[in-house]
Amino acid sequence: MSNPDLRRYEKELQASVNGFRLRRRLRHSFRQATLPLLEETPSPSYEELTAAFGPPDQMAQDLLRNMANPPQPLRRGQKAGIALAACLVVVGIGVGAFFWWNAPEDEVTLSNGSSYTDDVLLPNFAFKIDEAFTNWEIPWQQSSDCSIYLLLIHNTNTVVTTATVQYAALRPPHTIEVPPRSTRAFLVEDARPGEHTISFSSPDGSLSGTFQVLVALPSNL
C-alpha cells in the first residue's frame, strides 16, 4: 500500500478500536470495502476517502456493526497469562539447551587398545590430533554431527601418566590413568558437541609419550 493518504486513513481507522485481533479484522474489512473505489480511483486522497466512507472512527463503527463475531480484546489476566506462558517457553528452551550442552558423556569404554589395529582404525575413524604429550592443554572441536571419539594414549615414561579430558564447564572431566610403558584406548560414544581439551600430568612432572584423537567417520555413526 504505497498511497500515504490511504495508509493514514487506515491507521486512524485501526486506532479507533482496541485489540490486535480486532484491528486486523477491521483492516481486512476496510480493504475489502475500498476495492470498488480503488477501481475507479487507484490513488484516492484523504479527502476522497473521507467523502466516500466518512471519518475513520465512523467507518470503524460501520464496519463493526456488519462484522460477524468480532474478536474481543484480551482481558488483562489473559494478556498476563500469555506473557507468562511465552516466558516459560523461552525459559524451558534455554534450560533444555543448557542441560543438553552440559550433559555428561556416560557411554565410555576404557581398554588396553590392542584391538585398535590399522585395519579397524582406517575404515572407521579420522585422525584429528596425533602429537606427543605436552605440558599444556590441546583442544579439538567435536562437531554436533559426530557423537563418537576415540583416544589412543601411549605412555613411554617410567611413571604413570594421567590424561584429563575437559568437555563441559559444569561436568567433571574424564581422567585416564596410563601405566608406565603402556597404551590405553578411551572410546566415547555419546560425545557432547563443542570444544574438548586434553592435558597430561605425572607424579614427578615428566612426560613421555604420544596420543591420538580420532572421530568416527559419518558412514560409521
Distance CA 93, CA 91 (A): 5
Confidence class for position 189, pLDDT limits 50, 70, 90? very high
Highest mean pLDDT among 19-23, 62-66, 129-133, 216-220: 129-133
DSSP codes joined into one string, 108-162? EEEE-STT--HHHHHHHEEEEEEEE--SS-EEEEE-TT---EEEEEEE-SSS-EE
Q: With beta carbons less than 8 A apart as the criterion, state whether 184 and 116 touch.
A: no
The tens digit of pLDDT for each residue in 147-182 reads 999 999 999 999 999 999 999 888 889 999 999 999
Distance CA 215, CA 127 (A): 7
Q: With beta carbons less than 8 A apart as the criterion, state whether 104 and 188 touch.
A: no
